[in-house]
């Protein structure tokens, strides 16, 4: 005996759409399927609604990706209470970079995404507070925050793809075998160019940027 179809009135009511619910669902899709699947169509399917309904809360896919990035920024721990301001600043930036490295596709999207949510504002506030607590002038701190986040995001995006051992070995061989007659600086610096762990190089880069921001005035 065939069961009769259920009336729409007998079905449980769908939860009302909200921006927060949409972003939460988008983050879940990101973690399970990657950023390429975080589309309005896929999200509408997940929420059992039509894509047009989502545009009331999110204007387009770029805004959705920016909102996802802001949501994940909320997973970054606050600045540590112990240590000097430079060390604390570096630890916040390293945590931001590590978060992006956990989501390779989002790292590349973050190069152009422009989050404006509460977690992004909290991150900027934290960076400004740490720089200014170290005596960095306000204008230098403001420009410095932009520079530090750009570098952290670009670093994560660069290392987010699958690393090819063959490509890396080809580059290492090219540097080590460069003839001193035509490339004297490379010949003398080949091992230095290839030295250091990724963690050490990231730390050095942040320290270099922080020192430069501290001592370089912005133009009038």
Confirm if 117 and 71 have CB atoms less than 8 A apart.
yes
Per-residue pLDDT of 79-135, as tens digits, reads: 999 999 999 999 999 999 999 998 878 888 888 888 889 999 999 999 999 999 999
Per-residue pLDDT of 127-173, as tens digits, reads: 999 999 999 999 999 999 999 999 999 999 887 665 567 888 999 99
Alpha helices in the chain (DSSP H): 19-33, 40-46, 51-54, 61-73, 85-101, 104-109, 118-133, 138-158, 165-176, 184-194, 198-215
Name the class of domain 79-220. Answer: mainly alpha
Listed residue (88, 89, 110, 86) closest to 99, CA to CA: 110
Confirm if 210 and 89 have CB atoms less than 8 A apart.
yes
pTM above 0.85? no
Listed residue (125, 76, 128) closest to 103, CA to CA: 76
Q: Where are the domains of the chain?
A: 79-220
Provide Rg for the chain, Cα atoms.
Answer: 23
């Amino acid at each position: 005996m065939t069961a009769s179809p259920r009336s729409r009135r007998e079905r449980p009511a769908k939860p009302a759409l909200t921006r927060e619910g949409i972003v939460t669902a988008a983050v879940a899709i990101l973690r399970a399927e990657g950023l390429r699947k975080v589309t309005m169509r896929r999200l509408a399917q997940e929420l059992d609604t039509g894509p047009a309904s989502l545009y009331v809360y999110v204007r387009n896919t770029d805004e959705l990706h920016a909102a996802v990035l802001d949501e994940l920024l909320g997973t970054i721990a606050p600045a540590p209470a112990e240590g000097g301001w430079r060390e604390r600043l570096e630890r916040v930036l390293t945590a931001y970079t590590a978060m992006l490295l956990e989501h390779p596709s989002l790292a590349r999207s973050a190069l152009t995404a422009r989050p404006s949510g509460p977690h992004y504002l909290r991150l900027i506030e934290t960076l400004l507070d740490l720089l200014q607590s170290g005596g960095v002038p306000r204008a230098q701190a403001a420009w410095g925050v932009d520079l530090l986040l750009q570098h952290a995001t670009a670093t994560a995006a660069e290392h987010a793809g699958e690393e090819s051992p063959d490509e890396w070995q080809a580059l290492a061989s090219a540097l080590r075998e460069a003839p001193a007659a035509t490339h004297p600086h490379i010949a003398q610096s080949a091992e230095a160019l290839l030295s250091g762990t990724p963690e050490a190089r990231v730390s050095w880069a942040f320290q270099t940027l922080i020192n430069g921001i501290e001592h370089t005035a912005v133009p009038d």
